[in-house]
Amino acid sequence: MNLDFAARRQNLIAQLPAGSVALIASGAEQIRNRDVDFPFRAESDFLYLTGFTEPDCVLVLIHQSVLEGSEYANGCHQAWLFLRPKDPLQETWQGRRLGVEAAPQTLAINQAWSIDELDDIAPKFLSQAHQVYFSFGQLKDWSVKLADWLNGLKAQVRKGVAVPTGLCDLDSVLHEQRLIKSAQEIELMRQAAQISVQGHIAAMRATRPGAYEYQVQSALEHAFKMAGSERVAFNTIAAAGDNACILHYTENNAPLKDGDLILLDAGAEWQGYAGDISHTFPINGRFSPAQKQLYELVLAAQQAAIAAVKPGNVYDAMHQASSRVITAGLVQLGILQGEVETLVKDEAYKRFFMHGTGHWLGLDVHDVGRYKIDGQWRTLKPGMVVTIEPGLYIPLDAEGVDAQWRGIGIRIEDDVLVTQSGHEVLTLGLPRRVEEIEQWMQQR
């Protein structure tokens, strides 16, 4: 799909004040152990603005006012890229590189240089800038370089060299831009969501007593790759039995026991965009009475939260809807005692439902964008994508809880797009109701 990265860059720099320069890095490869690197994945901000996936790159966006009077002035904002040069020896060992010469035309960049030239060239454009924007989330990575560049400029003040006076957080602008997805991004997210569905279906086929969590994980991730996904969007959670009460369980090495549930939380990445699904179902294909009651409660909470996804509603409306359903259901089952309104106000449900009902989704599985504006929950707008994922977690050692409920962890999660008229569930296709799940498992 042809995404207009140049338009994204122009939109971003146009939002910055005159005299601005923005710095965005792709990131560096990281050592896993000794001579082995972790698989590299470009930083999402860099990927969003370039579509380029090589490490050791820096994108520089320059407001047209900075270049006035220079040889690069053309009346337009500029995008410069510093990247790894071609190197036959390194490419023989490590893989092909785009190179400096091909970068401008391939990536629609104004200028390209070797990353080795960044320290020499950066002071030249910074001396004409008033503000330098970069992600404060990467302050540790930028601090040494910026200190060297700015101190070098300060040493030349007597020669008339200027120094930027403002260091600004680019996240406040760029992440708000990323929050609203374009039509092209939404289509990529639909594909990520549906590949994720295929993986969860494959995992259901592989689930049976005596198998291991990692075997279910393997079936799920195999289906992702066979459908064209290069990688998972995050570390897969395959949690059987009481392991499901550990929210970010990733050991995935326990056997599947007859009579337990398994909770899967996994998503495929498609062209950088994440899918994210949680699915809980019985290992032997049949819910016990207690499992069924808790599962149906979580499903009702999820449906209530999804119904709250529409333009004009505040973000927190989804959590308010789900937590109210969860609380009322726990009272009805005797797990909580008291008046529902009081329990909701006191957040008594947090003992068993301790996380939020969802999060933004996009290039990152926990995607960027503020949840509150000036201390108030923000309003949902078309183009936003959220996950809806209520859950219940009652560990084996839960004090004061009847034994029938203990050792059960349930989470149900779908990816939901805010549309002009309401919402669209991107992850349709999994059996969700108890009867559907049991029928599907029996007919595998």
Catalytic residue among 221, 364, 413, 414: 413
E-assigned strand segments in 91-130: 111-114
279 catalytic per annotation: no
Instruction: Look at strands 273-274 and 268-270 and give their pairing.
Output: antiparallel
Angle between helices 139-154 and 118-126 (to 10 degrees): 70
Six-digit token string for 287: 């819910």
4 is catalytic: no
| Residue 145, phi then psi, degrees to nearest 5 | -65, -45
The residue annotated as part of the active site, out of 45, 185, 221, 276, is 276
Q: Which of 42, 45, 43, 41 is nearest to 8 (CA)?
A: 45
Catalytic hit among 35, 71, 374, 399? 35
Could you confirm whether 411 is annotated as catalytic?
A: yes
Beta strands 131-134 and 166-169, pairing class? parallel
- Assess contact for 287 and 260: CB atoms under 8 A: no
* 355, 370, 378, 406: the active-site residue: 355
| Cα 299 from Cα 125, distance rounded (Å) | 56
Among 319, 359, 364, 367, the one annotated catalytic = 359
Q: Of these residues, 34, 158, 248, 399, which one is catalytic?
A: 248
Q: Is 389 a catalytic residue?
A: yes
Q: Is 187 a catalytic residue?
A: no
- The phi, psi pair for 108, rounded to 5°, reads 55, 45
Active-site option among 8, 190, 411, 423:
411
Contacts of 59 (CB under 8 A, 6+ apart): 9, 23, 24, 25, 26, 46, 49, 50, 79, 80, 81
CA proximity to 264, closest of 254, 252, 272: 252
Q: 428 — phi, psi (to 5°)?
A: -60, 145
Q: Bridge partners of 33?
A: 36
Complete edge-to-edge strand list for the sheet that includes strand 423-425: 385-388, 414-418, 423-425
Q: Which of 367, 393, 414, 415 is catalytic?
A: 393
Indicate the SS3 state at residue 277: strand
Q: Is 185 a known active-site residue?
A: no
| Interatomic CA distance for residues 225 and 122, integer angstroms | 41
Q: Which amino acid is at 3?
A: L
Q: Residue 265 catalytic?
A: yes
Q: Residues 43, 221, 242, 265: which is the catalytic one?
A: 265
Dist CA 266 CA 135 (whole Å): 28
Contact between 6 and 49 (Cβ < 8 Å):
no
Q: Is 35 a catalytic residue?
A: yes
At which residue do the structure tokens 């559907």 appear? Answer: 436
Spot the catalytic one: 32, 96, 366, 444: 366
Provide the 3-class DSSP secondary structure of residue 389.
coil
Is 212 among the residues known to form the active site?
no
Strands 231-232 and 268-270: antiparallel
Residue type, 427: T
Catalytic option among 45, 269, 389, 415: 389
Q: So which residues are the catalytic ones? A: 35, 248, 265, 276, 355, 359, 366, 389, 393, 411, 413
